[in-house]
Structure 1
Amino acid sequence: MKPPPPPGPPDIGDLRELVEQWARFTADLAENGYSFDLDNWLNDVDVRELVLEALPMFGREEMGELGLALEQADRTFMAATRAFRKCVWGTATAARERWTPEKNWWYFRTPHRSNGPLEDELGRIR
């Protein structure tokens, strides 16, 4: 069996879609707070990790206004969240992935306006 072909060049459209998804999430979070559970929160903040992983593949010229949109979404997220004492994925995952509050700050924040079930789940993170 023949190995699959190597991946093609990165597509700025894929990054644009991720940034737009992040921006929609942060705007909704700022406006409405968060009404879902921890699994949903993890999925939502994982989008920002995917953005981080994709950024080195694109230059400033390719990013253009996309970079500004990302900065605005990040500011919105910071304003709508509070620092959390540990990684929302847990300390073992943070150590394995080498996530830090400085580099992967989205994993170390939780919503200002939340809900009881999410807060309960956050309280059980180890």
Structure 2
Amino acid sequence: MKPPVPMGPPDVAELRDLIDQWAEFTGDLERRDYTFDLDNWRNDVDVRELILEALPMFSREEMGDHALKLDAADTAFTAGTRVFKRCIWGHGTQKKEKWTPERNWWYFRTPLRSNAQLEDELATVR
């Protein structure tokens, strides 16, 4: 049996793809109501967590224009959301993952232009 092939160095193109996803999502928040449920919201903001995890592997120079695109997307996300009183994943997950409102701020925000289902589900987050 052959040993597993070692993984190569991380690919900056993957980080750029995540930033593109984040930018599209945050742009949509500015243009229209968020019509999905809490599971979808969590999945959407998880993209920003993946970006955070990848950022130490690349310089802003390697990211190119995507570094500025990330800055603009973060600004758009902040403008299209409001502070939420707790982590959208709940206290247990927040504690386990060591997420803080300062470092992982996307998990502590919800859409300004929300919907009844999402708001009902957010009310149950503990």
Which category of TM-score, normalised to the shorter sequence, fits these structures? over 0.9
Counterpart mapping for 1:1-126 below 5 A: 1-126=1-126
1:5 shift after superposition? 1.9
Give 5+ residue unaligned stretches, structure 1.
none
Q: What do the CA deviations read for 1:50-80 (whole angstroms, capped 9, x no partner)?
A: 0000001101220221110000000000000
Secondary structure at the counterpart of residue 110 of structure 1:
strand
Aligned length in residues: 126
Aligned-partner Cα distance in 1 for 2:29–2:51: 18
1:100 shift after superposition? 0.3
Aligned-partner Cα distance in 2 for 1:4–1:44: 32
Aligned-partner Cα distance in 1 for 2:18–2:3: 29
After TM superposition, the structure 1 stretch with the greater mean CA deviation from structure 2, 56-65 or 79-88, is 56-65
AA aligned to 2:105 is W
Aligned-partner Cα distance in 1 for 2:88–2:3: 37
1:3 shift after superposition? 3.6
1:90 shift after superposition? 0.4
Secondary structure at the counterpart of residue 40 of structure 1:
helix
Q: What do the CA deviations read for 1:75-94 (whole angstroms, capped 9, x no partner)?
A: 00000000000000001000
Aligned-partner Cα distance in 2 for 1:10–1:115: 38
1:33 shift after superposition? 2.1
Aligned-partner Cα distance in 1 for 2:41–2:3: 37
RMSD of aligned alpha carbons: 0.8
TM-score by length of 1: 0.97
Give 5+ residue unaligned stretches, structure 2.
none
Aligned-partner Cα distance in 2 for 1:6–1:57: 17
Percent identical: 64
After TM superposition, the structure 1 stretch with the greater mean CA deviation from structure 2, 16-25 or 6-15, is 6-15
Secondary structure at the counterpart of residue 101 of structure 1:
coil
AA aligned to 1:84 is F
Secondary structure at the counterpart of residue 51 of structure 1:
helix
